[in-house]
Structure 1
């Protein structure tokens, strides 16, 4: 058996990853690591031992095997072997003591035990106890050939929560012959072997040390299968390098309801429809016949892989990145991440950030640093337009990310307030690349920002309203459902804006989407008031190329005014 030092405690994470790889989409609810006290122990083992018969012993047993009465006379044996009594008597006495032969009515005869010894050519010899050192686990009444000092892993201080304090007055059960034989074998001792006729005859009561300073370590992994809607536990025994069915059964009986409630709570927080859709995709993926080229549209991320995938998602964004994170920290949104966001802006992409977990903004206990908000809002795209829009969403427990329209992340990872460089054990994120699901989640998240804009319309400044027009134009959802909101904002702002800013806004709207009822009026206004004819010609040329019907309407409207 390999020593535990060769298997660092972090191997529990690897076991969890292996479980997930065998069941795609499996969610790890929690990972724990704990120990059971292990006591130094020793037992005395009595083992039958044999040696080969010498020629005199073999002749004596052969004579007696013939079962001829005269051959059972000591003088006859001496005469046949031509040896004096002083040579023969010690052999006979030893065989009598070992019950290989017996004396009946003055004659020697072979016993059943002696017949076996003659047949096998082996003679039993007096045995002395062999001491075997081992380690005793009083909770499961198990013995191990090794254990490690508790000080080796000082961060693991939790003892198995259902273990009881060991009562030293309790007489421990001795290890079975197989247990002690296996332990001795690991220590280089051979207690039993058929070739040499060695067999364990008895094992003494164990001697247990009064205190413990060593331990047996276990990894506990709680899982949820969204396909079967089942919660189950796996416990890895680092001593045996196998799953412990006995402990799994104990924990399932004691703690399963707790983890079921955890799943139910998460279901209440996260959208149930989303979970059902993910479940359908998982079933389809698992039913694929070509396992080597299995399409993985759902993947569960854990540990450091979450942060890694998130940063990769930022780098791969072309048009739009939406991040929902309860908190924003400048320790996480540092220069490195800001530079990544700037690269999206340079590609004329846009970033939406929603934050907040309290029901009311003034009850948030962790406000984002204002200097950070100002820095982010100051990032512009290559056209000089705002590239990052930040809103307090509030009362939102989900942590989500959508990259363009091809991938969605949902889980427990706080994207903008946690670097993922410590205590990652129980973090997990679902990564979905199914196009239909991602599109649905994109719509849901975009609606969060649209609703936030609607809720603030009455208190918005002119600048905020103009920014909202830019913001809405980048939201694909608005084009189908919120044209009226966009039109209303444009009506309220265009007469209050200076001509240059209005020109910039109209140029942007024309490039993105010209189907806004008020736009022809605004463009006609610019046609009459914009003093820079070069810019005006450029704008109208774009209108004619991109929206010929709109250009015709503007021309007609201008002619009518004349």
Structure 2
């Protein structure tokens, strides 16, 4: 669909990546892709580590005696009580003193436990002499991150242009030497180096930075300029290999929008080149849409012609292309919606309260109760503020009252714009398209010569679905990016529900796990229950194993633990009602341990748990 790579500004090493992006994501076109290098700073840090060991019997007795005896005993008295040579007692008290857990109080050198000693006595352990270790902090000025390593990194400057010659990144990373010990401990713990392990009694107690040992290392980065034909916008993307660097990409996007660097200098893309390529793609996109709709019209006309040639007045009932006129359209529209079992996608340039009335809302609510998701896109202008017939906020408010049984928004409507197509897709099986404005013209009075085609041809429906799905999916991704950036729960829920409606619950789970947004796990479970209810999701989907494996990071003290418990109960119940064996297989030994730990089940076996849920 898009321009050939030969007309673009793409480094030869990135040709395959650019081709893959365009192949995997219809609607995206890579305008430019270049490789750069940038500097990292490696700092040597010496840390002091203390470890703990269990108290031996003699140490425990001496510390206990210092607490319980009044007055505390002397070393001589302890030796007499224990009938041991005084040298054993002295060696042990010397060790305890060196670890600052015990002191000898004058004038008669009675043993006195310190506050630190009381703490260790309570834990049943003692600190060992500190150990020094060298680790390395790798400061990345582009991503704004510090990575910690046990060994030094060595690298030569790659033969690539230096990114710093084109873009200046603001250094937001604090100086390593200015970190508090608590900040350092947190960073080392998060880095999984295995050297700061508070639960095991291994603590990083202190650190020092050797500024003179700081070295520069180099890293390669790819920057791509991508045009999204669905959203009609340029996207800047930073990658390391196939991995997208989201924070860097967002920063680049913001910088280019502010004019802090020029794409012409960075990637050889002049404003004229961007405008030319964009115009060509949009013309081609609109042409493809028109060709698809025109193909439907021609196929419908051909069938009608053949029917007439055979002397018939009506089309066969099993025809894959049926022409509907005026008074036939609305009844067929409503009956098609009523037949939905999983999903309804609608695009209507305009939306009015006259059509989205109480009867229509009740129809959609009844469908939602049975597991159907409804996604509605609207808009004809290139920009929402340019719409001459803007949608009333009351319409959206009405549609948002349509909820799933788990109280999620089952129907969502959003402005997509720049299209005069009028399309309805139901369950990926039926496609309605034509001149009828689905949500702004009732069509049951004042007939005006409207025509619509009802299509059940698999290839035609598939083509129409892929186009609309791409638009809705792109909208979900934009909402999600904004939700993540602003930690906006409501936007995130909208994204999850759109993904659920499109049958993309696995993508939704991946995004939650990637961003560690455990708070939204119960919402995802509710989305899944709706999918199971409509059989859009199979009870033996591999995604359930992936979801259960995420439970191992959930703490029982999570504030939304009750929602998580009820969510999983609902999922297992929905699975068991369709396939009891699938539910039992899902609750394997590892999964069941998590269910018991998190009190998702109060029963002692999966069989009893499932039986209880199905009552």
Query: TM (normalized to structure 2)?
Result: 0.41
Which structure has more relative contact order (CA 8 Å, sep 6+)? It is 1
